[in-house]
Amino acid sequence: MSRYRGPRLKICRRLGNLPGLTRKKSKKQSLPGEHGEQSRKPSEYSLRLEEKQKLRFNYGLNERQLLKYIKKAKKVQGATGLILLQILEMRLDNIIFRLGMAPTIPAARQLVNHSHIKVNDKNISICSYQCKPGDIIQIKQKKPSQILIKKYLNFPGLLGIPSHLELDKNQLIGKVNGIVEREWVAIELNELLVVEYYSRK
């Protein structure tokens, strides 16, 4: 399955608020689709599927990538759901978004793909690059890059920078100080249901 490129508000109406996907808010209250108004009791499978879809669309992953992250999280000692969220939060595109350098994760991905970003003085063009504590994220010393990031910083996607990150707005330098804590994860979901979904596959 390729990355989703369709209408984002439609996804938000079905799954709820996904800050990483879009900043727009829909005026429609009903679920999308012909049968959106109908209320029915969701099955256990549909609840797990919905939580998994929230994770996928918020972080902009395809099914294969998410499965790879699940397998990686299972190999690490600790709560699999929390470790999965920490792995996803430490992706470079998400770090840029959480620093306020981009309004959404797709916008952050575009910054990385277009070589506006440097990590530890090295050009990085891979969105899934796993940042580590101590990493320094910089913007290239080029006027277009600087103007673009300053524009984004004036209208951040989320209010407040998580405790594991710090940002120098004047120098346009971000620093990763540690691993994200659960309360700082912006998306509202039950990660245990995601783990259960994949444990039954």
Summarised one tens digit per residue, pLDDT across range 93-127 is 999 999 989 888 988 999 999 989 999 999 989 99
Could you give the CA distance from residue 82 to residue 89 in angstroms, rounded to a whole number?
10
Q: How confident is the model at residue 82 (pLDDT cuts 50, 70, 90)?
A: very high
By percentage, how much of the chain surpasses pLDDT 90? Answer: 39
Whole-number pLDDT of residue 35: 52
pLDDT of residue 5 exceeding 80, the answer is no
Domains, in order of start, for the chain = 8-32+42-87+185-199 (1.10.1050.10), 92-178 (3.10.290.10)
Lowest mean pLDDT among 33-42, 46-55, 147-156: 33-42
Q: How confident is the model at residue 201 (pLDDT cuts 50, 70, 90)?
A: low
pLDDT of residue 1 exceeding 50, the answer is no
pLDDT of residue 38 exceeding 60, the answer is no
pLDDT of residue 44 exceeding 80, the answer is yes
> What are phi and psi for residue 125, nearest 5 degrees?
-120, 20
**Residues whose CB is less than 8 angstroms from the CB of residue 35 and which lie 6 or more positions away in sequence, other chains included:** none
Q: Could you give the 3-state DSSP secondary structure of residue 126?
A: coil
Cα R_g (the chain), whole angstroms = 17
Summarised one tens digit per residue, pLDDT across range 148-186 is 888 888 877 677 888 899 999 888 899 999 999 888 888
pTM: 0.85
What is the average per-residue pLDDT within 26-43? 63
